[in-house]
Chains A and B, each alone.
Chain A
């Protein structure tokens, strides 16, 4: 039952090909960022009605994935569930990469990214009543804590790992609750304004983080040609089902309470307006309904392929949950005065998807993918089952 962690010996040409493609896409993303900066965000789909675009959607999505996977690593390191040790080390490493991607995402959204240091002048130059400034503390601390966490795991120091693990788990929850509060405390925007937002965000983080972990770990084992136990993944599938149902309950409460005045107009518009197909089709259908349907069938849940499909659907669905918060949340015209507001001030905002924004987003994901596969090759992340050595030897020999 003992696990030995070894770097994966990727030697095939395909590995370097993938690495080169990811590096190229990251460079393309960076070039798009430079273009967008010189154009003053001219190439983005944002407007004065919809100030936040793709960069913020990707950022909160990544923060969620990061916080979720760090929380789930505590299953082993804090709660001592040995059967999940398979995923825990990768979970912590993934969390660091994802939060780094999220920080890059935030800086891409800033009109003046060179002044980002101002966000981290806590209590000196910062307005500590702002949720954004408070989140700066949370993100900064998160980065440091997760580095120490990974360090103590690599150093094989279970006592320290447990202590830092407890802190990391709490801090990760706070990080994503803080992100939810950025939106939930904005009274001017009906779709944002909700006390339940921070909790919705934490659960969404755990759902998406778990789905990503399942996909990434299974894929890593697969591409590294290593054996793994399937049973832990099947029980994680059950956990995924439970978390998804919790998320549905929270989102349901949020939307149902918002169907009452004064938030009725914007919420009805979200549920039946031009963004309704994204809400019902992607968020509810792809993110909640289909995965719950798939995972509630033991036959599919206890099948690696079924689990992978359900997890992928959840990942797409949670992305659109973020999209449906940020874009329609600001697109609905403000009720300055009762009555119908004519002209552009009463028109709903539109959000064209532009090539620059998409390539920038793709660049962030490619950069993280590059770091991840480099990590697999050079760090001791993926476990080798005892007795599985011959297996890998055979596999590498075959290669």
Chain B
């Protein structure tokens, strides 16, 4: 059985936000205006937070990129009344836009604020049609015919890439990785199978000290962080 996981080396992360942009481009996530960002209404599938300790000049800043944690015990799946969000067998927590009724209960329950509500109307301008799925011949198509407003969205670990890669017999984790992993300039992120003892993620986890966010909630998240 495969369990996809991501390891993020915080020592290598420079906070350049390339992952955020790569995610937006890959998944056709709409850009928000400045006003939307101020109102915390912009859709982010991947975000980078900065955590500071101490006061200037004795200050330490930790940059933490946060995709969806794809928990093994996901609170969002427990609370979704209509099975619109579910955990795939390979551990990816998915959101089905066709089933989602937009009740936003999952956004309230998610301890990582990984979820955003899409309130954008479909646009007709050719630039950034957020209603279109990321229809890429190379990567494989989305299972959803089109994106829609009034539903909740989140990171999918670029499942369309993984599914297509598996179909073509490529090695996931080296040849095929999610967009944020591919575009990280400092190679801070790695992706792979947690149940495969030879995978890079297992190697990193066994050789370095790691932590996960909000462990006290016992969500069993599958995004691991290597400390500074």
Contacts and interface: CB of A to CB of B under 8 A. Distances in A.
B215 to A, nearest CB: 11
A5 to B, nearest CB: 40
A339 B59 CA distance: 11
Given A40-B121, A111-B101, A47 B50 contact: no
Contacts, number: 166
Nearest to A119: B81
What 8 pairs between A and B have smallest CB-CB spacing? Answer: A111-B102, A111-B150, A40-B119, A40-B149, A188-B111, A132-B81, A51-B104, A133-B81
A262 B118 CA distance: 31
Give the interface size class of chain A: 35 or more
B40 A110 contact: no
A119 B100 CA distance: 10
B110 A188 contact: yes
A344 B50 CA distance: 10
B111 to A, nearest CB: 4
Contact of A118 (B37, B99, B109, B116): B99
Interface in A315-348: 330, 334-347
A130 B105 contact: yes
Interface in B99-135: 99-105, 107-113, 115-121
B227 to A, nearest CB: 11
A119 B120 CA distance: 24
Contact of B118 (A40, A133, A341): A40
B107 A51 contact: yes
Interface string B73-100: 0010111111100000000000000011
Interface stretch (A121-129, A147-155, A220-228): A121-129
B49 interface: yes
A111 B108 contact: no
A49 B40 contact: yes
A399 interface: no
Interface in A172-187: 182, 186-187
Contacts of B101: 110-113, 115-116, 118-119
A126 B77 CA distance: 12
Contacts of B118: 40, 111
A131 interface: yes
B51 A40 contact: no
Contacts of A42: 119, 121
A51 B153 CA distance: 13
Given A51-B108, A336-B214, A344 B40 contact: yes
Interface residues of B, number: 55
Interface string B205-219: 000000001101100
Contacts of B119: 39-42, 111
B58 interface: no
B102 A112 contact: yes
Contact of A187 (B41, B47, B75, B115): B75
B145 to A, nearest CB: 15
A342 B51 contact: yes
A39 B149 CA distance: 9
Contacts of B148: 112
Contacts of B79: 130-132, 186
A52 interface: yes
A109 interface: yes
A12 interface: no
Interface string A21-47: 000000000000000011111100011
B116 to A, nearest CB: 5
B66 interface: yes
Contacts of A346: 49
A266 interface: no
A136 interface: yes
Contacts of A330: 108
Given A112-B151, A132-B103, 19 more contacts: A37-B150, A39-B121, A47-B39, A48-B40, A48-B42, A111-B119, A115-B82, A115-B99, A115-B100, A119-B82, A121-B82, A127-B78, A129-B78, A132-B81, A188-B75, A335-B214, A336-B214, A337-B49, A346-B49
